[in-house]
Structures are given as C-alpha cells and as structure tokens.
Structure 1
Amino acid sequence: MVRKEDIYIPCFQTMRTLHVYLPVGYENNKQKYPVFYMYDGHNLFHDEDATFGKSWGMETYFDTHEIPVIVVGIECNHEGNQRLEEFSPYDFDDRYVGHIHGRGKALMEWVVSDLKPWIDLRYRTKTGRRYTAIGGSSMGGLMALYTILHHNDIFSKAACLSCFLYGVMADIRQELKDHLHADTHVYLSWGSEEVRSKMQLAKLSAANLEIIRQLLAQNVEVFPNLVVKGKHNEASWEKELPVFINFLFP
C-alpha cells in the first residue's frame, strides 16, 4: 500500500508530496519496521506518477516478496532546473543546462531534522541507525551518497544507483576523507550503456572505483555493481531491486 502525504519544506518554502509504502500486513499488526528514505519518490511505485511514465515497480516487488520495510519517497521539484538544484549538494556547471546552484545540503538537513522525526511519530518505525537507509538514482544517487557521508550517525545503509558524478568528483573526494562507521553498507552501481563510448565508460568506472576504494579504506561494506547493458532509466534500475534490497535488508 502506498500513501501520498503532503509536507512542508521550510528551507524551500513549499509543500512537497511524499510517497510512503507500507508493508503487507502493516494495518493488521503492531510490528515496527526499518525505514528506507529515497529521493525521486514519484518514480518508485506507480507508472502514472513517474516522470517518464515508467516506475521502479517497488510496490509490486515489495508486496510480492513481502519485504518488511517502510519506504519514504521524497518527490522532487519538477519546475525547470529545480530538481538539479535541490538534488545537488554542490555548485556545478553543465553544458546543457548552465550553472547549477546546489541546495542539496539544505534538503538533506530537512530530511534528518524534520522528515525523519515526522515519519517516526506518524508510523511504526524502528528508529535506530541500524534500521535506517537512504537511496536514490542519478542526482538522487549523489544525494544518497552525500547524505550517508554527512549523517552516518543516522543512516547505516545507502543505495546509490547511477550517481551523477560529472563535475563534482573534487568535492566528493573531500567528503570521503571523513570517518564512517565500519558497520556501514553502501551499494554503488553504474550501467555499461549509460554513456556513449568506451572512453566515457572507462572514466565513469574510474570515478566509481575511486569512491569504492576510499569507502573500503574505512572498512565500509561496499557492493559495487557494474550493470552490463544497464541504462540510465527506471526500467534498468528496477532490475537492480533484488540485488540492493537483499544487500541492505538481508
């Protein structure tokens, strides 16, 4: 079951829709559940809500396999470049959309300071770090990585699919120097068909491998996944569900 909840984000002075998945049997028991916070919540569950008409099909997958996890999907701002700004913690320049002023840090702090306490009060959740995960794809993948690096005290798990890395690797290198708990789990994936040439794939792989090496140096449990024929879209990310869900919530 997926509920839609409207919530106010003070730092952006706007209302935003949450897409909240509740596990099979939630309404008929008193059980508490781990929580998986995810960026781009509108793309997770239903095709009719997804930006390009194709979702990850997470409700069907979770229901079918009876995954005992609450998923909180945070919808993005769909106006102009606002998603890029809200889902980037860094400023960067892009040849197609121009200069992006990253406001992702403010969004992350809202997730930690406002959203998580709100969810913990409203739903039956296991509130501890061990039971709290963050995830996303593309810009959302970058935000998931950034979030677990800055709030590893809150999140013990992250699913970072097809992270946006172009133009921000220098910033990420600085972030990775911070100390992480050894009992942190990070799933990091990228697809072989997300780029147009072997040279671009080599550069993308090198960037991801650099992140992986720095995480491993801090004794983080990492699941690197170069997805053969993986593309930069929801249909491809849906196929990764069994892999990263089993890794984060075995």
Structure 2
Amino acid sequence: MKYIAIAAAALLLAQAPAGATTVRVHYAASGKDGIQVRADKGAAGWSQGVPATRDPGPLNVWTFTWPDALGDIQMKPTLGADKVSIGGVYKLPAGSTLDIYPFFGPPFGKVTIVKDVASPQLNNKRALRIYLPPSYGENAAKRYPVLYMHDGQNLFDAKTASFGVEWGIDETINRLVATGVMDEVIVVGIDNTPERIAEYTPCCDPKYGGGKLNAYDAFIVETVKPYVDRTYRTLPGKDTTAIMGSSLGGIASVLIAQRHPDIFSKAGGVSSSFWWNNGTLPAKVPDRVPVKFYLDAGTRDDGLDDTTKMRDAMLAKGWRDGDDLLFYKAEGGRHNEASWAARVDKPLTWFFPWGSARQ
C-alpha cells in the first residue's frame, strides 16, 4: 500500500504543469456557458478565448495555466465565448497563481440605508448608507475592501445633502470600476447628527468647543465596523480598510487613523479643517504610523495654507511624499461638495487601484 501511494503521488507530480502561471476564476458559471480566458500570450488571444477547466467540487472555480517561459501574462475572463468581464485586465507575474472574482453584469452599485443604528458611546442613533459594489449580488464568492466615510447624507443623494449637492460617490466608483482603474469597494456612509461639530473634533476650539471625537472614534471602531463585517462580505483586515471625510470630517479621519493603524491602512482628509483650535493639529503631529494619508485643499478659501502646514509636518515626521503621503492642490477648488466630487477620484484610485485587493 505504501508503494502504491508513493507511485500515485509521483504520477500526480508528473502530470502537474512545471513552472505554470495560473489563474483561478471564481464564478458560478453554468456548465453550458462556462468560463473562457482571453490573454496577450499563449493559446488564448484577445479576440478569441480558450475554455478554462472547472475544478471538481462545489466552489465554482475555473483554472487556466500558461508555461512560465511565456513571461508575465495579461488576461481577462469571459462568460461563455463572448461576454467579457467588466473592469480592467488582470496581470499575472510569471510563475504566479492569481485568484480573481469577476463580474459580467451592469457596472452599477446599489445604496441601501440602515436606519437607527444606536451608538452606546454617544447615546444617540443615526443611519448608515451602504454602497454595495456592482458585483455584490452577482458573484457571491467575492469579498470587498471597505471605505468608511462621514457626513453620509451628502455622499449619494442630492435630496439629503446639506446644500443640495452630493459627492456622487456611487457614480464615481461605478465609472472607475467600469474603466478598470479602481477595485470594487463597499462604502459605509455614516450620517452626521446635530452634534456634528463636537463628534468630529478633539477638545477644544476657543470658538466652537468640540471634544467628542474619542466617543465617535469608539462608535466607528467598536460598533459600526463590527456590524459591517458581520453583515456584509468584507475584507476586514487593516490593509483593506480605509476612512475618509471632508472639512471637520477630514480631521476626524486623520486623527482616527493615526490612533488605529492596526485597523485602518488608508485615510483621506479632503479640505480638512486643520485650523481647528488655533492650528494645534499640524503643530502636534504624532510619530509616523504605517498608514497612507491623502490630503488636499482647494486654492479658493479652502484652508490651503493650513493643509500645507500639515503636509510639511507629516513629512518632517517621516512620511514619504507620493509613497505614504499624497498631497493635492486643487486649482480653483472651494470648500463644498461640488469641488470634492470633482476630485474624489484621486484618493479612491490611490487607495484602491485595480487589482490591488486580494482575498
């Protein structure tokens, strides 16, 4: 029996492709349609695909391999012969194995509202506005990075936005995913409350007070994130979790990420209110933590000088320009949703470039 087992193992090794570059396509395609592969090298071409092999078992995984000698591969799967996956091409370094989770339907995500989410930390309630990406209902095998954002009322719907202008986060992400420059993500918009100023700020500005940021921070980390991770198909690790906001929400995002580098790896401060409390935030930047920060400001009454001071203070603490600190000066940009909508593609594509998420 021992020799039979050894012989069987040797046979399997002999049949396995030596030095294979492999894609594993996770998708519940029917046997009739199946998954095909188009690529820039090998038997598969860009104009006509080659069938992938469905792995045995219940997981709906389709496999295709190329010899290592062909070098790096660029490819896209198709559903059947003609329906090409939405988004960008997938890049496989020679010798690698890449798991991908494509979709083939319309590139439109969906926003749902979760009402009356209680905050024991702040003793109040608010809604969460959850953007689920285009493939969420189509490919049940896929999990997603998550972006947490403040001022949820202003993100997706002009009817609920404070000044009748929305960020258009859903439309922007739909477009960036469809054109293959951004990965799909879940966005959690956290509504503000009448206590917005206090909740988004540390203590204490001489004019506006503030000081409930610690409790709001705890609400996100202890209540909102655990709820989202157990309710939706998220990638819950720090490398796939980001936080972003504007104005006071910008400083809230920066401070929360600085405090929790074990939870957030990316933070965006859009038109952040770094003037808060006579500019103490740029003056007291903590030591560098392993978080990527995006900072920006417009050139028209948008706190550009204070944001520049924050950028310079972070560089002095060890952040690296263009590596883990991206600063953008928005020419003509103002302190409003229209300006933020016009440039939100910059942090989105920097945080979540196409092909960056792994599961």
Which TM-score bucket, shorter chain as reference? 0.7 to 0.9
1:157 corresponds to which of 266, 280, 285: 266
1:68 corresponds to which of 184, 201, 209: 184
Aligned CA RMSD, in angstroms, stands at 1.7
Report the equivalent of 1:20: 130
Report how far residue 244 of structure 1 moved: 1.1
Q: Which runs of at least 4 in structure 1 moved beyond 6 Å after TM superposition?
A: none
Larger Rg: 2
Q: Distance in 1 between matches of 2:307 and 2:199?
A: 25
Report the equivalent of 1:230: 333
Report how far residue 128 of structure 1 moved: 0.6
Report the equivalent of 2:310: 208
- Corresponding letter in the other structure for 2:280: A
Pick closer, same or farther for the CA change 1:214–1:114 going to 2, 3 Å: farther
Q: Is the 8 A contact 2:201 2:213 kept in 1?
A: yes
Q: Distance in 2 between matches of 1:10 and 1:214?
A: 38
Counterparts of 1:71-110 in structure 2, within 5 Å, are 71-77=187-193, 79=194, 82-94=195-207, 99-110=208-219
Report how far residue 101 of structure 1 moved: 2.9
Pick closer, same or farther for the CA change 1:214–1:74 going to 2, 3 Å: farther
Q: Distance in 2 between matches of 1:20 and 1:136?
A: 15
Which is bigger in relative contact order (C-alpha 8 A, separation at least 6)?
1
Report the equivalent of 1:246: 349
Q: Distance in 1 between matches of 2:271 and 2:242?
A: 17
Corresponding residue SS for 1:105: helix
- Corresponding letter in the other structure for 2:198: E
1:59 corresponds to which of 160, 167, 170: 170
Q: Distance in 2 between matches of 1:214 and 1:111?
A: 29
Which structure is higher in helix share?
1
Per the normalisation by structure 1, the TM-score is: 0.88
Q: Distance in 2 between matches of 1:13 and 1:213?
A: 38
Report how far residue 179 of structure 1 moved: 4.1
Q: Is the 8 A contact 1:212 1:224 kept in 2?
A: no
Q: Does 1:129 align with 2:238?
A: yes
Q: Distance in 2 between matches of 1:187 and 1:117?
A: 25
Q: Does 1:185 align with 2:292?
A: yes
* Aligned sequence identity (%): 31
Q: Distance in 1 between matches of 2:173 and 2:307?
A: 30
Report the equivalent of 2:226: 117
Q: Is the 8 A contact 2:149 2:190 kept in 1?
A: yes
Report the equivalent of 1:44: 155
How many residue pairs get aligned? The number is 234
Q: Distance in 2 between matches of 1:144 and 1:167?
A: 14
- Corresponding letter in the other structure for 2:297: W
Q: Distance in 1 between matches of 2:350 and 2:165?
A: 24
Q: Distance in 2 between matches of 1:248 and 1:18?
A: 22
Report how far residue 204 of structure 1 moved: 2.7
Pick closer, same or farther for the CA change 1:206–1:158 going to 2, 3 Å: closer
- Corresponding letter in the other structure for 2:128: L
Q: Distance in 2 between matches of 1:205 and 1:71?
A: 25
Could you tell me which runs of 5 or more consecutive residues in structure 2 were left unpaired when the two chains were aligned.
Answer: 1-109, 178-182, 354-359
Report how far residue 172 of structure 1 moved: 4.9
Pick closer, same or farther for the CA change 1:207–1:111 going to 2, 3 Å: same
1:34 corresponds to which of 145, 157, 175: 145
Counterparts of 1:135-174 in structure 2, within 5 Å, are 135-168=244-277, 169-174=279-284
Q: Is the 8 A contact 1:93 1:167 kept in 2?
A: no
- Corresponding letter in the other structure for 2:352: F
Could you tell me which runs of 5 or more consecutive residues in structure 1 were left unpaired when the two chains were aligned.
Answer: none
Q: Distance in 1 between matches of 2:307 and 2:205?
A: 21
Report how far residue 28 of structure 1 moved: 1.7
Report the equivalent of 1:4: 113
Pick closer, same or farther for the CA change 1:218–1:50 going to 2, 3 Å: same
Corresponding residue SS for 1:152: coil
Q: Distance in 1 between matches of 2:311 and 2:165?
A: 29
| 1:183-242 CA distance string (max 9 Å, x none) | x211100110025xxxx75x4354233344245x14561110111111000000001122
Q: Distance in 1 between matches of 2:221 and 2:331?
A: 34
Q: Distance in 1 between matches of 2:214 and 2:316?
A: 22
Corresponding residue SS for 1:56: coil
